[in-house]
Amino acid sequence: MASAEECREDAVIFRSDAGMARFRVEVADDKAERAQGLMNRETLSKSAGMLFVYPNPQQVGFWMKNTLIPLDMIFLDKTGTVKKVHSNAKPHDETPIMGGSGILAVLEINAGLARKIGISEGWQMRHPSFDRDTAAWPCDG
């Protein structure tokens, strides 16, 4: 189990019975940062991602307009539990990718990584953005 010092703003950790995974992240937690996302970037390190955090759980949708990198999108509820994984979102595609209702955060990583690692519904993510009273895997526990 990861220790409390591993719970950092610039990293997320996933766990399940199948294993663990860690990514360095940039956090997009205001409207302007979420709107910009990973648009116009030509590369994304294999161990990196962008974590989109919303003020309250809600229905969220993403598109790939002006996004140059194929991505996996991991949608999480307020407990940090994975609710949906959308694999291989295609660059420049303007088709909305919906995560469902009750989504508090979305992690974007390089396309294919979620499947390669095995990240799927039910995995838990640890990050300071999740309230310790409701998180399935709180930072201090």
Task: Give 62-71 pLDDT, tens digit per residue.
Answer: 999 999 999 9
For residues 99-125, one letter each, b for 16 or more C-beta atoms within 10 angstroms of the residue's C-beta and e for the rest, the string is beebbbbbbbbbbebbeebebeeebbb
When pLDDT is cut at 50, 70 and 90, the band that residue 140 belongs to is confident
User: Under 8 Å CB-to-CB from 5, ≥6 apart: which residues?
Assistant: none
d(CA 51, CA 27): 5
pLDDT of residue 141: 55
E strands of 2-102, at which residues?
11-16, 19-28, 48-58, 61-62, 71-76, 82-89, 97-98
Rg, Å, the chain Cα set: 14
Instruction: Report DSSP state, residue 4.
Output: G
Helix residue ranges, H only, the chain: 31-36, 113-117
Q: What is the pLDDT of residues 65-99, one digit of tens each?
A: 999 999 999 999 999 999 999 999 999 999 999 99
What is the separation of C-alpha 19 from the centre of its chain, rounded to a whole number of angstroms?
17
